[in-house]
Chain A
Amino acid sequence: MIPIIIIAVWEFFAIQANNPALLPRVGDVISRLVHPFTDLLNTGSFVRHIIVSASRVVLGFILAAVIGIPLGLLVGRYLLFHRLFSPIIELLRPLCPIAWIPFAMAIFKTYTIADMFGAHYTTSIFGQIQLGMLYVIFYGGFFPIFLNTVHGVKSVKHLYIESALLLGADQKKLFKKVIFPSSLPSILTGLRVGLGISWMVIIAAEMLPGSDAGIGYLIIFSYELAEMDILIASMILIGAVGALLSYGVKVLADRTSIWQAKER
């Protein structure tokens, strides 16, 4: 019901304004969306831009998970790691990832993964994954993943740990068989939130100079050329892809932790 009202209001104002550079008609945006493979403004199609953005996010996000989860497990379990990492993490946490973007651009310039491996003129996707962008995505995804993992480990019931120890578990087995599975629901929540933030951060990062692909770039470029239909179509796509990513993690989460919701 609500989407219909929104579309109706939009269409009403679009007809009133009668200016596609200000507010395009609903039909114009839809006709853009139904042709996802058509080249736009000589920059490539929607599909290409989304693939570029998504590969940046996925890579940066995997990096955040690979570092955030083990570190969270250690910090949550061992006081030594807690003391070592907590101060720096508390200091960095309030610093929003978007504030890092200019800094990361300045440090990493437009250096890409392909450049790292010496392939300077490549059409492969790696030529589109800038290290600076990876860094800010990593930064955006890391904190929710890390903090939720720590929280998960800290809330493992003492009863389970004592049971496992009495049943002959050593520290290694305790970690693998009790602490990790018990924190898994919390870790998956962290992954879901982290992925959402990574997806927001990448759009912002792509809007800054130094990028020539990605859905965020397409938004800012179509804004400059007053192509509002492309701009709105891109926004709809960002929402759709974000929801899809989140849904993917949720399906995974529900499958691995049915017990959590039902636990008495």
Chain B
Amino acid sequence: MSFLRINNIGKTFLGERKEEVIALSDLSFDCQDGEFLCIVGPTGCGKTTLLRLIAGLEQPSEGDIILADTVIQGLNREATLVFQQYSLFPWCNVIDNVCFSLEMKKIPKKTRYLEARKFINLVGLTGFEKALPYELSGGMQQRVAIARALAHNPKLLLLDEPFGALDERTRHRLQAKLLAVWQKERKTVVFVTHNIDEAIFLASRILIMRDRPGCINDEIKVDLARPRDRRSQGFLKLHIKIREVLEKILITNTNNQRGAL
């Protein structure tokens, strides 16, 4: 039995005119313990919805999600989601943000500050403990958000395009940082992105989603040795391969639309 199992899930929303919108349909995959899984796909294919379902923020219309042999019902207490938007509590400074989950567990202030400093150090933000979120750059805020998620010590770390709003240099730096953290903490990570390069750099395995309705189209194992060189033959080959799959999805969609018209 795998660590995380997504079993034929479907998700249907009610649209504005009460019509049914199928976001996800018959979607299944497995994820091993300690795996770094990346999900790529065209915008609007339901990647974020999928993560929200795994986090238990929404419930699937069909199928079920099994984490460590338990079917998820309601909020998934074993998972933490790092949102695409900046989600730090603006009224708390960095250390209190990172501490939040420890405070919920009623850990005394001294112990939790000690613990939080470890994670702040891990994401390279020592010295910024007392800063308020608005004083930090976007990249720093996302690093704090990752530290906050790690401090919660979840079995499963879900990341929804956390570096989406950042420039390429910062993005690359944070990717390397995240990998280092993952190698050290050995968490299971599900990382959603629409950036192919990011997926190949990070993942042990990449799932490619298609849209209308959202489901898994392809699966690609990434066997390149870490740290991965973005200019290596293997990296570029994979890049082209994934690009081709995504383009094919796009073309089928356009054809389907023509057919519908």
Seen from chain A, the residues whose Cβ lies within 8 Å of a Cβ on chain B are: 159-160, 162-170, 173, 177-178, 181-182, 184, 257-260, 262-264
- Is the CB–CB distance between B90 and A169 below 8 Å? no
- Is the CB–CB distance between A168 and B104 below 8 Å? yes
Residues of A contacting B86 with CB < 8 Å? 264
**Alpha-carbon gap, A178 to B91, bound state (A):** 9
Q: Closest chain A residue to B154 by CB distance? A: A166
**Alpha-carbon gap, A231 to B81, bound state (A):** 64
B-side interface residues, number (CB < 8 Å): 28
Residues of A contacting B105 with CB < 8 Å? 168
- Is the CB–CB distance between A163 and B87 below 8 Å? yes
**Alpha-carbon gap, A164 to B80, bound state (A):** 10
- Is the CB–CB distance between A168 and B152 below 8 Å? yes
**Segment 33-78 of B: residues with Cβ below 8 Å from A:** 55, 57, 75-77
**Alpha-carbon gap, A263 to B103, bound state (A):** 24
**Segment 160-212 of B: residues with Cβ below 8 Å from A:** none
Candidates B76, B91, B104; contact of A167 at CB < 8 Å: B104
Residues of B contacting A159 with CB < 8 Å? 83, 85, 87
Question: Is B101 in the interface zone, CB < 8 Å from A?
Answer: yes
- Is the CB–CB distance between B90 and A167 below 8 Å? no
Q: A167-B148, A169-B104, A177-B103 are in contact. Are A260 and B90 (CB under 8 A)?
A: yes
Q: Closest chain A residue to B56 by CB distance? A: A166
- Is the CB–CB distance between B89 and A181 below 8 Å? yes
Question: Is B134 in the interface zone, CB < 8 Å from A?
Answer: yes
- Is the CB–CB distance between A184 and B91 below 8 Å? yes
Seen from chain B, the residues whose Cβ lies within 8 Å of a Cβ on chain A are: 55, 57, 75-77, 79-81, 83, 85-87, 89-92, 100-101, 103-105, 132-135, 148-149, 152
- Is the CB–CB distance between B104 and A166 below 8 Å? no
Q: A167-B80, A167-B148, A184-B91 are in contact. Are A162 and B57 (CB under 8 A)?
A: yes
- Is the CB–CB distance between B91 and A264 below 8 Å? no
**A and B contact pairs by CB, cutoff 8 A, 16 listed:** A159-B83, A160-B89, A163-B81, A163-B83, A165-B75, A166-B57, A166-B79, A166-B81, A168-B105, A169-B100, A169-B104, A177-B100, A181-B92, A182-B91, A259-B132, A262-B134
CB distance from A172 to the nearest CB of B (A): 10
- Is the CB–CB distance between A264 and B134 below 8 Å? yes
Q: A162-B57, A184-B91 are in contact. Are A167 and B100 (CB under 8 A)?
A: yes
Residues of A contacting B87 with CB < 8 Å? 159-160, 163
Q: Closest chain B residue to A262 by CB distance? A: B134
- Is the CB–CB distance between A259 and B133 below 8 Å? yes
- Is the CB–CB distance between A259 and B90 below 8 Å? yes
**Alpha-carbon gap, A169 to B80, bound state (A):** 12
Residues of A contacting B83 with CB < 8 Å? 159, 162-163
Q: Closest chain B residue to A261 by CB distance? A: B134
Q: A162-B57, A166-B79, A258-B132 are in contact. Are A263 and B104 (CB under 8 A)?
A: no
CB distance from A185 to the nearest CB of B (A): 9
**Alpha-carbon gap, A184 to B105, bound state (A):** 24
Q: A166-B75, A167-B152 are in contact. Are A181 and B100 (CB under 8 A)?
A: no
Q: Closest chain B residue to A168 by CB distance? A: B104
**Alpha-carbon gap, A168 to B101, bound state (A):** 6
Residues of A contacting B80 with CB < 8 Å? 166-167
Residues of B contacting A262 with CB < 8 Å? 132, 134-135
- Is the CB–CB distance between A168 and B91 below 8 Å? no
**Alpha-carbon gap, A162 to B79, bound state (A):** 12
Residues of B contacting A173 with CB < 8 Å? 104
**Alpha-carbon gap, A157 to B85, bound state (A):** 11
Residues of A contacting B77 with CB < 8 Å? 168
**Alpha-carbon gap, A259 to B132, bound state (A):** 7
**Alpha-carbon gap, A257 to B90, bound state (A):** 9
**Alpha-carbon gap, A159 to B160, bound state (A):** 13
CB distance from B23 to the nearest CB of A (A): 18
